[in-house]
Amino acid sequence: MMKRSAVPPGITYSPRSGKRYANSGSENRSNGYDSSRRYLPPANFVPVVISGSLAFVSGQGPLSDGTVVWKGSVGHDITPDEGYQAARLAAINALSVLKNELGSLNRIKRFVKLLAWVRSAPGFDQQHLVINGASDFIVEVFGDKGKHARSAVSATELPLGMAVEIEMIAEIAAE
């Protein structure tokens, strides 16, 4: 757990939850998601890496205000429809960290690839339908630019008990 004195400037530490948040100083609500208070990764990685004209978004899950909303195995603890909603929320979070990195989602030329994991109950084989929650949302927001290559695979466990985790690669325009 991070000690209060170890918190760098611009970071809020919640001693009650043990979570760290970045403060942008401005409030921006889109689709009911407040991107002004961003949850920071709980491990040693960054949310987005830009290399050339590609933006690589680290795995994002179905979190709201730093708390996992959809936990458990799809097909046992939650239904495929709930998994679909979890994938949609993970995509919203991925777009939020991408927007925070780029300054604007208008820089996105197209989505290249989505890689997704579904925490699955034994015998559950509908990962592709669960991850449609993310793909459908991205195409809904971006139209043809949102169409992407994709892999949807099963996992027995995911970090923090999340039901889904999504990475994305987007081609971006120069600043």
From CA 146, how far away is CA 170, in angstroms rounded?
A: 9
φ, ψ of residue 117 in degrees (nearest 5) = -115, 140
- At 165, which amino acid appears? E
Is the domain 48-172 a CATH 3.30.365.10 member? no
Instruction: State residue 96's pLDDT score.
Output: 94
pLDDT in tens, 12-69: 333 333 444 443 333 344 444 444 445 566 678 899 999 999 999 999 999 998 899 9
How high is the pLDDT of residue 66? 86
Can you say whether the dihedral through the CA atoms of 56, 58, 63, 67 is positive or negative? negative
**In this predicted model, what pLDDT tens digit does every residue of 107-162 receive, in sequence order?**
999 999 999 999 999 999 999 999 999 999 999 999 999 999 999 999 999 999 99
For residues 107 and 109, give the distance between their C-alpha atoms in angstroms, rounded to a whole number: 6
Residue 40: its pLDDT value, please? 63
Quick one: which of 103, 106, 111, 107 has its CA closest to 166?
111
